[in-house]
Copies of this chain bind each other. A is one copy, B any other.
Amino acid sequence: MAQSDPLYQRIASDLRDQIRTGAIKAGDRLPTEVELREQYDVSRNTVRLALGVLQNEGMISSTQGKGTVVREQVMLTYHAAWAESRDRHASDQTDAFYAEMRDQGRKGEYRDFEMRIKPATPELAARLHVDEGDSLVSRAISRFVDGQPFSLQDSYYPMDISQECGLLTPHDVPGGVIRALAAKGHTEIGYVDELTTRMPRPDEARKLGLSQGTPVLVYVRTTYSDKRPLRLTLTIFAGDRNRVVYELGDLTAYAENGGAS
């Protein structure tokens, strides 16, 4: 904002303000680079620097040949807490996701299921309590909502459990993995969720269709039986379209008293 800021920063601030105040609304096209060049009397290079700033902030998105538009966001909610999903877990992971989406009036689907055997990285090994380099079974899927990619999920299981419970199949486990594990005595009694954020790697950006300036929400759930870690699920959420929610404590009392919207 200061007078001494670089030119391209001032132009970026100016456009940012116009978007924030609603002078340019979500979905609207921005002036073309040539128009901005004339408007601010700078080189096209400088205009592109300014647009790059806003692009990295996730505010705008440009397409070759079409132009530059203000991005609009639709947030989907992922309920992560135990109480919420306990009854759904009775059936299947797949069903849980479908149910969530149906509740929000969307159409969820899966694509690109893949079963692979991978060596444990140091991080995976530490969390699953196996040795580094040990074989793990990876069962990965991509989640789509209304035809748009929303998250990439990769679940890792120790090899001995996988063999015991029939997870080495290149397709869905009938009845769901959780049920298959429980049938052999591996009952989940709790989990640890870790949430971080970072910028996507190129392949993640491609698979999730992320435009420049969109971070991902990294969500790692390690579930335990009373004896050992059973499973590690790594989910990469497209940061501009997802929200993870935990509802904890005894909120039933509040709900009974006529809670808010």
User: Are A248 and B191 in contact (CB-based, < 8 A)?
Assistant: yes
A74 at the interface (CB under 8 A from B): no
User: Are A254 and B224 in contact (CB-based, < 8 A)?
Assistant: yes
Which residue of B has the minimal Cβ distance to A213? B199
**Oligomer: number of copies:** 2
A244 at the interface (CB under 8 A from B): yes
Contact of A193 among B198, B215, B248 (CB under 8 A): B248
Q: Chain B residues near A246: list those with CB within 8 A.
A: 80-81, 192-193, 195, 246
Please encode chain A, from 177 to 192, with 1 for each CB lying within 8 Å of some chain B CB and 0 for all others: 0000000000011111
Q: Chain B residues near A80: list those with CB within 8 A.
A: 246
Shortest distance from the beta carbon of A196 to any chain B beta carbon, whole Å: 5
Question: In the complex, A58 Cα to B225 Cα: how many Å?
Answer: 36
A108 at the interface (CB under 8 A from B): no
Per CB-CB distance, the 10 closest pairs between chain A and chain B, nearest first, are A190-B249, A215-B215, A129-B260, A197-B197, A226-B253, A197-B239, A190-B251, A193-B246, A195-B244, A57-B199
- Offer 25 A-B interface pairs, CB within 8 angstroms, sorted by A: A52-B52, A57-B200, A82-B248, A82-B249, A126-B261, A129-B260, A129-B261, A189-B250, A189-B251, A189-B253, A190-B249, A190-B250, A190-B254, A191-B247, A191-B248, A194-B243, A194-B244, A195-B243, A197-B197, A197-B217, A215-B215, A217-B217, A224-B249, A226-B253, A226-B257
